[in-house]
Chains A and B, each alone.
Chain A
Amino acid sequence: MKRFKYLSLIITSLLLVLTLAGCGTQPLSSQNVLENDKKSNTITWGVKADQKLIGLIDVKDGQEKGFEIDLAKAITKKVLGKNGNAKFVTVTSQSRIPLLKNGNIDAIIATMSILPDRKKVIDFSDSYFDAGQSILVKKNSSIKSVKDLNGKTVTSAVGSNSVDNIQKIAPKARVLQLPDFAQALTALKSGQGDAMTTDNVILAGLAVENPDYKLVGGTFTTEPYGIGINKGQPDFRNAINKGLAEVIKDGTYNKLIMKWFGNVPGFDYKEVLRK
């Protein structure tokens, strides 16, 4: 009898937890992000913390640095004026969309491709970088293109869409996901995998310190990066798009590309310049 009482207590409470969690998913009250940001003179960006050349915290001063960081600063100045502040919150591929939806950040600029699945839950700006997926292999590897990956092991990082792409294009490839890209590369170097795959820029950042490895086969997907913005924020989205267009038009964009990707072996920066 006593045991039965416990059981019913447990079941009731579990149901309670379920109901509570159900309540928890109400949409955020729609505020105007652009107006809020203008009032506080600050745009809060979700950025990468550990991606070389793109968004990496500088161990000297603790500041985020990289192409996306500079681009976010430039766009902020166009949207808010010369004295506008860009505030950075470091995110991962896993945390960026929940944080945007929850309102911790106003915009995501963190190597996020514009994908139909994501468009269902958030909006995107115009693309700000022509990214595509590529593969990184040891210099003397027999793998020349993505098709050679069938039957081979490919490493990548948890929570990126690269894995789905590989499974579509080379269905017989075995995919090994690691916590982050640096570890995915280490797994490749250790012989855990025969190739590593993800976006070309990320691979380029990793190849800088590892000249024995090279990108092969060019890009086999077209997955331009876009700035992630919450749904129902047309004003903010237009302002970001306008800012981005101005940054491209006045040549800042190409300067940033040269600054960050101008000297990366195996990466043709001219392909991603914008006119």
Chain B
Amino acid sequence: MQNWIDAYSWINIRFLLQGLEITILISVISVVLSFIFGSVLGIIRYAKIPYFSRIIGFIIDVIRNLPLLLIIFFTYFGLPAFGFKPDTIPAAILAMTVFESMMIAEIIRSGILAVDIGQMEASRAMGMKMGQAMWHVVLPQAYKKMIPALVSQFISLIKDTSLATIIVVPELMQHGQVVYGQNPNYIIPVFVAMAIMYFVVCYALSLLSKVIDRRMA
């Protein structure tokens, strides 16, 4: 029991919360970036530009089908060979962005596909260009349909940042390891605290997505 009380001293909890802050920071920046890149990649793949779309599509498939841990290793250990030496946090953001962009690209592509083809044709028939029709007619509807999928992707991104502890990114998981590094008897209490913190953030988001979903319906 004493272990639990000591483990949950304000100083330790504050340190965990500081880790949570970094976790959220990495997640938010990565999700914004991957939303942008993912949209572009998804549209390219959808557009079926000869060869180019195929190659992009293949790259998307390869990265999507690798464990995120590997992507993290590649960005942190592999990139410096090309002259780019990211710190741990930028490396984590980069890895998350690369991985999530590919996931979001797939969501976007299938979102666009789910919008009735007739609408695209109708807009084109009314004299709109491909890009205009995409921007004004297809994408707004596609994004609306994709909101639940995008939010759940964001949630998995938050959870996935925990893997970045392998390269000592100062996020929640790593801060947890430091807290129980002081005293191995804190391990279980620390894991419980971390689980609660992750849960609160992720569950709040999933509730939010349900509310949005209901409003839009």
Contact = CB atoms under 8 A, between A and B. Distances in A.
A62 to B, nearest CB: 7
A167 to B, nearest CB: 25
Contact of B77 (A51, A98, A182, A210): A98
Contacts of B77: 95, 98-99, 102
A179 to B, nearest CB: 8
A91 B87 CA distance: 12
A182 B180 contact: yes
Contacts of B179: 59
Given A49-B168, A59-B182, A182-B181, A24 B85 contact: no
A271 B2 CA distance: 35
Contacts of A31: none
A95 B168 contact: yes
A90 interface: yes
Interface string B176-204: 01111111110100000000000000000
Contacts of A56: 178, 181-182
Contacts of B18: 62
A120 interface: no
Interface in A1-56: 9-10, 13, 17, 21, 24-26, 28, 49-52, 56
B15 A59 contact: yes
A185 B14 CA distance: 25
A94 B12 CA distance: 26
Chain B interface bracket (under 10, 10 to 19, 20 to 34, 35 or more): 20 to 34
B80 A185 contact: no
B4 interface: no
Contact of B168 (A51, A91, A210): A91
Given A59-B12, A102-B80, A90 B184 contact: no
A183 B187 contact: yes
Nearest to B167: A95
Given A25-B81, A95-B76, A180 B177 contact: yes
A107 to B, nearest CB: 16
Interface string B73-95: 00011101110010010000000
A94 B166 contact: yes
Nearest to B91: A104
Interface of A (DSSP majority class): mixed
Interface string B47-68: 0000000100010001000000
A57 B78 contact: no
Given A50-B177, A95-B76, A209 B184 contact: yes
Given A185-B184, A209-B184, 18 more contacts: A49-B178, A50-B178, A59-B178, A62-B18, A90-B170, A92-B167, A92-B168, A95-B76, A95-B77, A98-B77, A102-B81, A102-B85, A103-B80, A103-B85, A182-B177, A206-B184, A209-B182, A210-B185
The 10 tightest CB contacts between A and B, nearest first, are A102-B80, A50-B181, A59-B15, A182-B184, A209-B183, A24-B81, A90-B168, A98-B77, A57-B178, A185-B184
Interface of A: 9-10, 13, 17, 21, 24-26, 28, 49-52, 56-57, 59-60, 62, 89-92, 94-95, 98-99, 102-104, 180, 182-183, 185-186, 189, 206, 209-210
Interface of B: 11-12, 14-15, 18, 54, 58, 62, 76-78, 80-82, 85, 88, 166-168, 170, 174-175, 177-185, 187
12 contacts: A13-B62, A49-B174, A50-B181, A56-B181, A59-B14, A59-B182, A90-B88, A90-B168, A95-B166, A99-B77, A189-B184, A209-B182
